[in-house]
Copies of this chain bind each other. A is one copy, B any other.
Amino acid sequence: MREFKKLTPYRDAFNMMMEDIKELPDFEEIPLDEALGRVLAEDVVSPIDLPPFNRAAVDGYAVRAEDTFQAREYNPVELEVIDEITPGIESKREVTNGRAIMLMTGNKLPKGANAVIMQEHVKRERNRIYVLRPVAPGQNVAFKGEDVRKGEIILEKGRILKPQDVSMLKALGFRSAKVKRKPRVGIIVTGDELIEEFNEEALERGKIIESNSVMLKGLVRQYFGEPHFYGIISDDETKIREVLERAKRECDLVLITGGSAFGERDYAHRFVNLLFHGCTNKPGRPIGYGERVFVMSGYPAAVFAQFHLYVKYALAELVGANYEPGKVKARLTSKVSSSLGRHEFVKVLYEDGKATPLKKKGSGIISALINSNAYLEIPEDSEGYREGEEVWVTFY
Interface residues of A (CB under 8 A from B): 1, 3, 32-33, 36, 47-48, 50-53, 55, 57, 59, 86-90, 104-108, 119-120, 142, 146-148, 154-155, 162-168, 170-175, 191-195, 197-198, 203-212, 214-219, 221-222, 235, 261, 263, 265, 298-300, 304, 326-329, 350, 352-353, 360, 362, 364-367, 369-370, 392, 395-396
A370 B173 Cβ-Cβ under 8 A: no
CA distance A197 to B172 in the complex (A): 9
**Residue of B at shortest CB range from A198?**
B173
A171 B362 Cβ-Cβ under 8 A: no
Q: Please give the count of copies of this chain that the complex contains.
A: 2
A366 B147 Cβ-Cβ under 8 A: yes
B88 A206 Cβ-Cβ under 8 A: yes
A214 B366 Cβ-Cβ under 8 A: no
**Which of B52, B168, B326, B366 makes the CB contact (< 8 A) with A211?**
B168
A219 B163 Cβ-Cβ under 8 A: yes
**Residue of B at shortest CB range from A392?**
B353
A364 B147 Cβ-Cβ under 8 A: yes
B168 A366 Cβ-Cβ under 8 A: yes
| Selected A-B contacts with CB under 8 Å, 28 pairs | A1-B119, A33-B217, A47-B198, A50-B367, A53-B204, A55-B364, A59-B261, A86-B235, A88-B205, A90-B206, A106-B299, A107-B206, A147-B365, A148-B367, A163-B215, A163-B217, A163-B219, A166-B214, A166-B215, A167-B215, A168-B211, A168-B366, A170-B209, A171-B208, A174-B198, A326-B350, A328-B353, A353-B392
**A163 contact set on B, CB distance < 8 A:** 214-219, 222
**A369 contact set on B, CB distance < 8 A:** 164, 167-168
